A and B are shown apart, each in its own frame.
Chain A
Amino acid sequence: MKGVRTVSFENGFKGWRNAARVLLAHKIEPSDLEWQERGKGHSSALLWGNEEIDWPAMAGSSPQLVLNVSRRWLEMAEAVSYHRNPEKWQLLYNLIWRLTYENPKLMDLSIDDQVQAFLSMEHGVRRDAHKAKAFVRFRKIESEEGDIYCAWHEPENPLLRYVAPFFKDRFSVMKWTILTPDESVHWDLKSLHWGPGCAQGQGPQNDSLEELWGCYYKSIFNPARVKIKAMKAEMPRKYWHTMPETRLIEELIFESDQRVEAMIRAAPPSAEAYLPESEDLVSLKTALPGCRACELCAKATQGVFGMGHPNAKLMLVGEQPGEVEDQTGLPFQGPAGQILDEALAEASIDRDTIYLTNAVKAYKHRIEGKRRIHEKPSPREVGTCKAWLKSELKAVRPEVVVCLGLTAALAVLGQSVRLMDVKNKVLEVGDNWKVIVTHHPAHILRIQDPDEKDLAREELETALKLARSLAGMTRNIT
C-alpha cells in the first residue's frame, strides 16, 4: 500500500477537473487521495506529511480515458465546487470515480449517500447564488468618470465568481463593484477585475433612492396577512444586514394590527345593513325611514322611496329627491317631475305603468339663508345608498331601465360615463336589463339657451320612446 497522497491543485473547479482527469485515467482510487486546493483552508482530516502526488507529470503518460459524465453533471459539479465545505473535492472525485468505473447510472440512485451529499451541496450553492442575485443591493457613487454602483454582499459560500457573469450580463451598461468577505469584483464596462475580499463597511453607506425603496416596501406590504415565517424562510436573517429595506420589518409587524383595525374601521357605510329581511317593495318602503347608513336622510325631511307599478317593465331612475319630493315623500313631483310628465306623455307612456325612483333616497342640500340649495350627491353617497336601488331593481325586475342623468347611470351601471358616449345607446348590464342613459329633467330645467333646451327635451322624449318599444309596452292612448 502506498498510503494516502495529497493532490495539490489551484484554479478551483478547472484545476480540480484537470487533476481528476489524470488521476482517473491512472486509476488512482479515491481512498488513496487527499484533495488540497492551494491557498484554501485544509480539509478536515488532512494528515500532515503526506506525500504529494505529482499529477501534472503524470499527464503525459495518461492512458486513454473516455469520461462518462454528462454536461449537466459537470454543471452541477461546478456548482458544488463553490461550496464552502472543503470536503467537496473529495466527494466530487468519489463520484466521478464511481460514475466511470462502477455505475454510469449512479446519479439516478438518489438514495445513495454520496449522491445525496452531492445533490444537497449543489442545491445549497444554487440557492445561495440565487439569493446573491436577488439580495445584492447597489448604492450609487457619483464620480467624474461616471456613476459606479457598489454593493457589499455576504454570501454563505465563496461564490462571487459563480454569480459574476450574471451581473455582467444584466448590468453591462453600468460600472459596478461587488464586495464580499472572500473576494471583490469590478466591472468597468469592458471586463471584470478581481480583487481581495474586504470587511463590511468598506462600501458606500447610503443612497438617496433607499428612501423611495423603503416607501415602496412599506406600501406594498399587506398588513392583513402577516406571515413572518414564510418571509424568513425565503429571506433568512443572515442576509438582512446588507438589505436596507429589512430595517423596516420590525415596525411593519408592530403596526400591522393597528393598520388592519384602521382598515376595518374605515370601511365606508352601506345601506345593506339597513335592508329588511324580505326585500319586497312594501317591506323595503317600510324600512327606509330607519336607514342611517349616511347622514343624508337625517338631514332631510324624509327618505323618498320609489313609486309605481310593482312589476313595471320600465323603470326610471333619477338622481335624488328635490325640494317638493322631500316634502311630499314621493318622487318626481316638483318642476322636474312636470318636465318628465310632459316627456312621458309625448312618448305615450302612462306613469302608472312604470316604476320611478332615485339613485339616492334623500334630498342632499346646503342651507343658504332660509333657502335650501340642491347639492349633487358624491360618488361615495351614491355607493352607500345603492343597496336600496338594487333591491328595488331586484323586486321589480324591469326589462328596461332609463337612467335620468349621470348619477343614476353611476348607480345602475357601476361606472361613471359621459353622456356623449352613451347617448342613444342601449347598454346591457349582465343579462339582466337593458339600460338607456339620458338627461335628467332637472338638468333640462336649468338649461338657459332655448334651442339647447328643446334639443335636450327631444332627446329625453326619444330615449323614453326607445325605452317603451324595447320594453315591449304598447302605446298609451290618451
Chain B
Amino acid sequence: MDIKEKLAILADAAKYDASCASSGSKRPGEKGRLGNTQGTGICHSYTPDGRCISLLKILLTNFCIFDCSYCINRISSDVKRAKFSVDDVVWLTIEFYKRNYIEGLFLSSGVIRSPDHTMEEMIAIAKKLRTEHKFGGYIHLKAVAGASEELVQKAGLWADRLSANIELPKQTDLDQLAPAKTHVQIETAMSSIQEKIVENRADKKTMKKVPLYAPGGQSTQMIVGATPSSDLDILATSSRLYDDYGLKRVYYSAFSPIPKGDPRLPLKQAPLVREHRLYQADWLLRFYGFSYQELLDPASPQLDLQLDPKTSWAVNHRAFFPVDVNKAPREHLLRIPGFGVRTVDKIIKTRTQRSLTLADLSKLKVSIDKARYFITTADHNSSVTLLDDEHLRARLKKTKIIQPTLFELMGVSDGGG
C-alpha cells in the first residue's frame, strides 16, 4: 500500500476527532531547529465542514482490538485498514511542515497488539521528530486507552499536548457502548498527566533548566448524542474534569453518522446546534462565572436549542435585571445577554471617562437586539420596560440575532477547533 492510500484511510479515520488546536505552547525557533510554536495556534486551512486544519491529524493505524460501538475503527467494522510506519509519519509531518501546510502533528491510533505497544510506537514517532529531525513544531499525542501510566507520562516529554478522551458523558454510557473502557481508567490517565504537568511547572519556578513537559496542557473529547445522556450530565462531567485535572479544553463532538456505524446509535446525527450550545455553555463555565447548576437542573436537563444558554438563563432570572451598564460590577456585566468578555472589559475602561448610552454600546459591537431588555444606560432605554413581558422569550427568539460562529467564539487564539 503506498503512502497516499494509507493517508487517505488514516486521515479519514481521524476526522471524527474534533480537536485540531495547536495552542497553548511556546517553543521559540532555535538555531538548527525546524519550526516553532507561538502560544496561539494557526489554522492553515479550512475544509467545507467549517473546521480548521491546523495539524496533520492522523491515526497511526485504524486496526483495533477494541469494539467501541461509536467508533468506525472498532474491530467488528469492516472498513479498509492500514498502518503507517514510524518513518511514514515522521516524513509526512516534516514535508507538510516545510511547505507551511500545518503547525505540526496530532497523532492518535487504534489499538494494535496492546495499548502499551501502540503508545510506545506513538512515542517513538514524537521522539524521532524531536531528536533526529530537531522538529520544533506542535505535537499532540493521544493517550491510548489502557496504556500504562508510565508510558502516558513519558509521552509528555515529547508532546506539546496530551489528551485522554473521556468519550462519553457517563460510565453507564461506556458500559453500553464501550464495555472495555472505564472512566476510572481514563481519569487515571488524566490525573497522572496532570501530576506531571504540575510537578514540571513547579520545577520551572525553582530551577533553571527544566525540560518542557506537555507545555500545551491536556484536553479531552466527549461524543454528544450517541447515548441518551443529557446536557446536564455532559456539563457536570466537563465541569468536574476542568476542576480535577486542569484541562485546557473539553471538545464536544456531535455524533456523526459514521460509515459502518452501529445501528443501535441514532443514524441521524445529533443536531449540530446542540454541539454549538454545549460549546457556548462551556464558555460560560470557564469565562463568565457561571456554574453548570445555574444553567441546568434535573427538572430541565437540556440546553435550549433556540436561545443561547446565557439569554436563556437571563429569561429565567429576570429579577437579576436590569443591570446598570454604567455601575454594575464586572461579574454582573458578564451575565448580560449579548455582552462578551472583551466588550465588558472595554465598557469598564470607557465608563471611567464617560457614561455609556445605547448608541455607544452598538459601537462596541454589543448585540443590542438581545441586550436591550436587560440593561439601563445613560440615556432612556424603552425596551427595558419589556423585561417582565410574558412574551419576552418569544421576542428574543424572533430577533434575528447574529450569532457568533463557533470559530469566532473559539477565536483565532485557539488555533481552531
Contact = CB atoms under 8 A, between A and B. Distances in A.
Interface in A248-275: 249, 252-253, 256, 260, 262-264, 266-270, 272-273
A462 to B, nearest CB: 24
Interface string A420-437: 010000000110100000
28 contacts: A103-B353, A108-B350, A110-B350, A110-B363, A130-B412, A135-B44, A137-B99, A138-B99, A169-B28, A212-B96, A215-B11, A218-B8, A220-B47, A220-B53, A226-B50, A230-B407, A231-B48, A234-B43, A234-B46, A267-B257, A267-B259, A267-B263, A268-B263, A383-B76, A383-B262, A416-B66, A421-B114, A429-B180
B45 to A, nearest CB: 6
Taking residues whose C-beta sits less than 8 angstroms from the other chain, chain A's interface range is 35 or more
Contacts of A118: none
B303 interface: no
Contacts of A224: 49, 256-257, 269
A134 B49 contact: no
A217 B7 CA distance: 10
Contact of A267 (B56, B179, B267, B272): B267
Nearest to B9: A219
B48 A221 contact: yes
Please report whether the interface of chain A is mostly helix, strand, loop or mixed according to DSSP.
Answer: helix
A225 B354 contact: no
B202 interface: no
Contact of B269 (A225, A243, A273, A430): A225
B327 interface: no
B354 A109 contact: yes
A383 B77 contact: yes
Please report whether the interface of chain B is mostly helix, strand, loop or mixed according to DSSP.
Answer: loop
A383 B349 CA distance: 61
A222 B15 contact: yes
B42 A219 contact: no
A110 B350 CA distance: 6
A274 to B, nearest CB: 11
Interface of B: 3-4, 7-9, 11-12, 14-16, 28-29, 31-36, 42-53, 56-57, 65-69, 74-78, 92, 95-96, 98-101, 114, 134, 171-172, 174-175, 178-180, 182, 254, 256-264, 267, 269, 272, 346, 349-350, 352-354, 356, 360, 363-364, 405-408, 412
Q: Which of B43, B44, B101, B269 gathers the greatest number of chain A CB atoms within 10 Å?
A: B101
A234 B259 CA distance: 28
A134 B412 CA distance: 11
Nearest to B363: A111
Contacts of A327: none
Contacts of A380: 76-78
Contacts of B182: 430
Contacts, number: 247
Given A171-B34, A222-B16, A224-B256, A211 B4 contact: yes
Nearest to A208: B95
Given A111-B360, A216-B11, A252 B100 contact: no
Given A110-B350, A233-B405, A138 B49 contact: no
Contact of A223 (B4, B49, B363, B407): B49
Contacts of A430: 171-172, 174-175, 179, 182
A84 to B, nearest CB: 21
Contact of B178 (A135, A272, A273, A414): A414
A256 B331 CA distance: 44
Given A110-B346, A209-B99, A170 B29 contact: yes
Contacts of A416: 65-67, 75
B353 A105 contact: yes
A173 B32 contact: yes
Contacts of A151: 100
A222 B51 contact: yes
Contacts of A387: 264
Given A230-B407, A430-B174, 19 more contacts: A105-B352, A108-B349, A111-B363, A130-B412, A134-B45, A136-B100, A137-B99, A220-B57, A223-B49, A225-B272, A226-B49, A230-B50, A231-B47, A268-B263, A272-B264, A379-B67, A380-B78, A414-B178, A429-B175
A228 B263 contact: no
A99 interface: no
B175 A222 contact: no
A379 B76 contact: yes
A455 interface: no
Interface string A426-468: 0001101000000000000000000000000000000000000
